[in-house]
Amino acid sequence: MSIKLVAIDLDGTLLNDHHEINQPVVDCIKAARKAGIYVVLSTGRPLSGTKAQLDVLGLNNNDDYIITYNGALVLNTKTWDIVAEHSLTRENYLEIDHLARLLDVHLHIADKKAMYTANRDISPYTILESYLVNMPLFYRTPEEIAEDVLAVKMMMIDDPEILSEAFKKIPAEYFEKYTIVRSTPFFLEVLNSNSSKGLALKELSEHLGIQQSEVMAIGDAENDLSMIDFAGTGIAMGNASEAVKAAADYTVATNLEDGVKEAFDRWVIK
């Protein structure tokens, strides 16, 4: 059966190490979209953090969609109409803030418009994330955040070694209550339990009337596993983790070697 929808991770997959898209990849995506195939970015970033990539790829029309916040928010890239949304409660924020303090790691959260942290010594990784996703960053007390902000995503952020040790200490019940994924060595993301790239891809496919067997997903990291598992054709980048390669149906070249183009050439536009 032919592929009608391709979901593509951003960092480490679509983007090279300079946070750019190689021109051969741009060309093949535009060709697929012209042929009527849906191409959907699937990322931990908010919509504001993908504007440059959407513009380059021409994925900003009335019939274009994006999966953001690792599946917590699925929306139209032109109208911002929401297809699916799975936010967190204020009680969730206070619980995770307390856990982060017990683990001695930094935490920031994001709603649809901005990022917030209650850490006076703001983590450089939080500043980096604010820059990458083009969102303003504010310091607020935990009480102010709980009162004023409805989080879409929360992120524990710290040096990889610190975060790895903290991850081991998270009680099992938190993994039952939330979706917790390591998107980079220095980001540990905490989401609504109904949020994942895989669930979001399922919701979007159903919205568009596309069968699971007609979906391809391409990724490289732990937070891509659920969409690779869901897709009829799951693709791991050559630079992907071993867990992603094991879960995927096929492995292609790295993000530096136009692995996304290889996937399109082999299975999308033949």
Catalytic residues: 9
Report d(CA 91, CA 83) in Å as an integer: 25
**Partners of 84 in the β-ladder:** 74
* Per-residue CA distances from 38 to 41, 62, 148 (Å): 10, 12, 36
| 237 closest CA partner among 216, 256, 265, 212 | 256
Residue 270 near residue 236 (C-beta atoms within 8 A): no
DSSP-derived pairing of the beta strands 38-42 and 65-68: parallel
Residue 236 near residue 252 (C-beta atoms within 8 A): yes
Q: Would the CA dihedral through 77, 82, 84, 85 be positive or negative?
A: positive
| 153 closest CA partner among 84, 75, 66, 86 | 86
Residue 59 near residue 47 (C-beta atoms within 8 A): no
Residue 192 near residue 223 (C-beta atoms within 8 A): no
* Per-residue CA distances from 184 to 146, 193, 210, 224 (Å): 26, 20, 30, 11
Q: Would the CA dihedral through 113, 49, 141, 103 be positive or negative?
A: positive
Report d(CA 219, CA 13) in Å as an integer: 6
